[in-house]
Amino acid sequence: MTQHIAVNFGIVGSALRLTFFLVAREWETMSNQSGDLDFHLIQLVPMLVLSLGIMLVAYKLAKEKDRNVVLWTILGAIPILNIVCVWFFIGAANRRLERKLDDLSRRIGGAT
């Protein structure tokens, strides 16, 4: 279990480094241009709003599916990566329902 968590945090760390690299590169590009800095910052707003929405969806799905809420919320907050991860979040098995089905199958199997 500890190794699995370390792998997950390694993936999150890599995604965060990539995000910070992309933002730093964009910031450097903006500072080198002779345009209005506010205009360039305004271009980041749609991406941040989209990331906030996906983060909330990831949080709700993690709670509903009985998954690691903190990890899923962090992955949902990282721009670009969150769009890829949301497909996994939606398709992931619901552990709560799986436990109920296992319990029912044990009861039925034991009753016959």
Q: Are 54 and 82 a contacting pair, CB within 8 Å? A: yes
Q: Are 57 and 89 a contacting pair, CB within 8 Å? A: yes
Q: Which residue reads 């945090």 in tokens? A: 9
Q: What residue ranges do the domains of the chain occupy? A: 2-111
Query: pLDDT (tens digit, 9 = 90+) per residue, 27-86?
Result: 676 666 655 666 667 777 888 888 888 999 999 999 988 889 999 899 988 888 888 888
What's the predicted TM-score (pTM) here? 0.59
On the question of pLDDT at 94 being above 80, the answer is yes
Residues sharing a CB contact under 8 Å with residue 31, sequence separation 6 or more, in sequence order: 37
Neighbours of 61 (CB within 10 A): 20
Q: Are 100 and 78 a contacting pair, CB within 8 Å? A: no
On the question of pLDDT at 110 being above 50, the answer is yes
